Amino acid sequence: MKRFVPWTILVACDLLIGWMNFHATDDVQAVAAALLGAGFGFGLYRPRRAWLFAVLLFLAIPLSGAYAEALGYHPGVTKPEPLYQTVIALLPSLAGAYAGVAVRSMLRRSRT
């Protein structure tokens, strides 16, 4: 049971980030902040798998974008952006995850 808790939290974070992206207009700062925060938490939790958590968090963005495209739902924009432009969302996800890794490393060094 203990092994499934982080993955359950990851799925919940992905659903929340995907929902935020689905309803985002031109302002995507909240989505980027959610990616930073969730990435930070998972990087702090498991430093060796920070890259995996960052990529899995990032996947909420293109998947929600593809879902919105399939529904024809584009709030606040006249023309939807191409799906390949969602790759930029990988940056806050990776930045948050590796910031968590850095903080974990500093905490570990300060204890010794």
Q: Scan for tokens 């919105």, then name that residue.
A: 68
φ/ψ region of 79 (left if φ > 0, alpha if ψ in -120 to 50, else beta) reads beta
Q: Is the pLDDT of residue 6 over 80?
A: yes
Mean pLDDT of 39-65: 95
Distance of CA 79 to the CA centre of its chain: 24
pLDDT of residue 78: 64
Residue 12 belongs to domain spanning:
4-111
Q: What is the pLDDT of residues 69-97, one digit of tens each?
A: 888 887 766 666 777 788 899 999 999 99
1 band by pLDDT with thresholds 50, 70 and 90: confident
Q: What is the pLDDT of residue 101?
A: 97
Number of domains in the chain: 1
Supply the pTM of this predicted model.
0.89
Residue 14 pLDDT > 90? yes
